């Protein structure tokens, strides 16, 4: 039989290729600020998530076409058979006696579960569920509960019934990772990539990449790289004989180091590490090198269950004011408790440990209970956050105790996709003048902060943050931020107006 139109094959040519799931999500941004500009961090994090999960026109069209196929079915689906598939081509040949088919021209194979296969020439057998592409093929997959995929490959052999096959000279994107390999082998439970690399940089010649002689991918579980090398441009940075990455949760091994500069530390480079020990227990830490202070590091053992979050911390920690403190060690506990069906939540925090700063050593103890109302919608896209707290800070260094009530009221609004602003008024008993340590504290108790964000285009955004000391009504801090996105890099600059300081952070795409 020869046809030059379109056929709907309910018996099924379903190209259901097992694919690599996402190997990480967009790294969360946390601003360094004394002006409460971190209130607007959600703008950066939403933008990163949107970019990471953005669909191409081709992907969106496939979703629409699959939906249209489901609407036009004449008969109910038979769960014992493959889902319907539409086969289009300039010339189609199909032998009903043995199931052989052959198609040439602009060939499209679209399944109702949102998979599409494009090529210039294809042959196969419907009864044996086999396809063969001697030249180049293009694949798009948007199947629910499976990875999103756009991929080109050559000399494709695939059995869509057994879900096994291979491709050569493969390149494309699978979920959030760009991938390239000389050969890929597909199995029901795994994928093997030979002589390839993965990266989040979309350039033809990526700014960074991880290459391996072979990558074993177990979807939803783990990825094992053999003879791994990490490259910056064409320069190898480090290598490993074998390395395993988690795919069932975030794995900090996939994150790249950040570099930057501030006047207090000089040039610095920082890398975070996290290692899971079991479902609820993990190790976390940072390794930091600064030009003025040399190597610093910190680490923690973290356990999370229904009772709360328990942390045992040790090492050097830096505040937004670039003040360092050493914990050796310190125990920290936190718990959030919703109060039934009410709009209130109680947040509990406790920390006790040995703190050191300069020549001061103290057993530091901190308690805090905060009552917080869920965001109140005031209309016009205005949101209001209200909270009140009671805290106690004890220090063995001078046997001091600082205790009392605190409160905060935060108003913020997204005016449009470009403009957002915030205003916050707060009071806290502890400040750097009445405390033993000046770590993560203002020098005053009553604070009014305000600021805004403006997005110029997809590559540039500015944030202005101000803080006023309401004890004497003067401007205490003013920070100007500029977010600029290069092709595979992001530069975050911060100018501290009152201090005449310029800080910046440079990082590879963290999404």
> Between residues 415 and 159, which one has the greater pLDDT?
415
Q: Are 398 and 424 in contact (CB under 8 A)?
A: no
* 239 plus 364 within the same structural domain: no
Cβ of 141: how many Cβ atoms within 10 Å? 23
* 239 plus 126 within the same structural domain: yes
Query: According to the model, what pLDDT value does residue 109 have?
Result: 80
pLDDT tens for each residue of 83-108:
677 778 888 888 888 888 888 888 88
Domain final residue pick, 443, 478, 506: 443
Domain final residue pick, 190, 224, 246: 246
Query: According to the model, what pLDDT value does residue 57 have?
Result: 92
Reduced to 3 states (helix: H, G, I; strand: E, B; else coil), residue 497 is helix
In a domain, 357, yes or no: yes
In a domain, 295, yes or no: no
For residues 131-140, average pLDDT? 88
255, pLDDT greater than 70: no
* 18 plus 151 within the same structural domain: yes
Rg of the chain over all Cα atoms, to the nearest angstrom: 28
pLDDT tens for each residue of 337-379:
999 999 999 999 999 999 999 999 999 999 999 999 999 999 9
Closest CA to 313 of 334, 330, 292, 335: 330
pLDDT tens for each residue of 44-71:
989 888 887 888 899 999 999 988 888 8
In a domain, 301, yes or no: no
Query: According to the model, what pLDDT value does residue 435 have?
Result: 95
213, pLDDT greater than 70: yes
- What percentage of the chain has pLDDT greater than the value 70? 90
112, pLDDT greater than 70: yes
What φ, ψ does residue 117 adopt, rounded to 5°?
Answer: -130, 125
CA dihedral 137, 142, 147, 150 (to 10 degrees): 30
Structural domain of 414: 310-316+328-443
* 196 plus 87 within the same structural domain: yes
The CATH number of the domain holding residue 178 is 2.60.450.10
Q: What is the mean pLDDT of the chain?
A: 87
11, pLDDT greater than 50: no
* 16 plus 148 within the same structural domain: yes
Number of domains in the chain: 2
25, pLDDT greater than 90: no
Characterize the bridge pairing of strands 474-485 and 489-496: antiparallel
* 338 plus 237 within the same structural domain: no
Closest CA to 393 of 368, 366, 356: 366
Confidence of residue 510 (pLDDT cuts 50, 70, 90): low
* 221 plus 333 within the same structural domain: no
Which CA distances in Å does 144 have to 113, 148, 160, 348? Answer: 8, 9, 18, 39
Which CA distances in Å does 439 have to 17, 306, 328, 377? Answer: 53, 30, 15, 34
Closest CA to 458 of 479, 493, 486: 486
Domain final residue pick, 443, 470, 485: 443
Q: What is the pTM of this model?
A: 0.82
* 337 plus 213 within the same structural domain: no
Where do runs of H (alpha helix) occur along 156-235? none
């Amino acid at each position: 039989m020869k046809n030059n139109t379109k056929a709907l094959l309910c018996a099924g040519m379903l190209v259901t290729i097992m694919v690599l799931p996402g190997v990480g999500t967009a790294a969360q941004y946390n601003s360094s600020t004394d002006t409460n500009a971190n209130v607007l961090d959600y703008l950066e994090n939403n933008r990163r998530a949107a970019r990471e999960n953005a669909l191409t026109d081709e992907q969106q069209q496939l979703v629409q076409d699959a939906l249209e196929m489901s609407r036009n079915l004449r008969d109910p689906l038979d769960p014992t058979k493959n889902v319907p598939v539409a086969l289009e081509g300039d010339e189609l040949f199909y032998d009903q006696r043995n199931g052989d088919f052959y198609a040439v021209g602009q060939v499209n194979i679209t399944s109702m579960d949102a998979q599409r296969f494009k090529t210039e020439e294809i042959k196969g057998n419907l009864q044996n569920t086999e396809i063969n592409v001697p030249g180049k093929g293009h694949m798009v997959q948007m199947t629910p509960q499976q990875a999103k995929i756009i991929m080109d490959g050559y000399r494709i052999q695939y059995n869509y019934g057994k879900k096994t096959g291979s491709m050569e000279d493969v390149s494309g994107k699978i979920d959030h990772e760009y991938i390239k390999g000389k050969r890929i082998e597909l199995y029901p439970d795994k994928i093997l990539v030979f002589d390839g690399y993965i990266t989040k940089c979309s350039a033809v010649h990526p700014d960074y990449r991880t290459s391996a002689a072979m990558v074993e991918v177990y979807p939803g579980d783990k990825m094992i790289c053999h003879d791994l090398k990490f490259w910056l441009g064409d320069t190898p940075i480090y290598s490993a004989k074998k390395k395993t990455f988690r795919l069932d949760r975030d794995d900090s091994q996939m994150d790249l180091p950040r570099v930057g500069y501030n006047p207090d530390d000089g040039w610095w480079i920082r890398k975070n590490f996290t290692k899971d020990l079991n479902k609820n227990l993990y190790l976390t830490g940072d390794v930091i090198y600064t030009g003025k202070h040399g190597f610093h590091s910190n680490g923690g053992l973290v356990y999370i269950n229904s009772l709360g979050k328990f942390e045992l911390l040790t090492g050097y920690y830096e505040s937004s004011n670039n003040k360092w403190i050493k914990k050796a060690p310190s125990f920290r506990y936190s718990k959030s408790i919703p109060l039934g069906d009410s709009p209130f939540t109680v947040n509990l925090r406790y920390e006790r440990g040995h703190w050191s700063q300069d020549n001061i050593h103290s057993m530091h103890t901190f308690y805090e209970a905060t009552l917080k109302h869920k965001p109140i919608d005031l209309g016009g896209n205005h949101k209001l956050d209200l909270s009140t707290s009671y805290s106690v800070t004890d220090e063995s260094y001078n046997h001091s105790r600082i205790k009392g009530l605190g409160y905060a009221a935060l108003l913020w609004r997204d005016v449009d996709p470009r403009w957002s602003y915030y205003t916050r008024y707060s009071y806290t008993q502890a400040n750097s003048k009445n405390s033993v340590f000046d770590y993560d504290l203002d020098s005053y108790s009553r604070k009014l902060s305000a600021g805004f964000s403006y997005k110029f285009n997809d590559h540039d955004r500015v944030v202005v943050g101000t803080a006023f000391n309401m004890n004497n009504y003067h401007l205490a801090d003013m920070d100007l931020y500029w977010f600029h996105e290069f092709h595979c890099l992001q530069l975050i600059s911060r100018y501290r107006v009152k201090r005449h300081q310029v800080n910046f952070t440079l990082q590879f795409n963290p999404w």
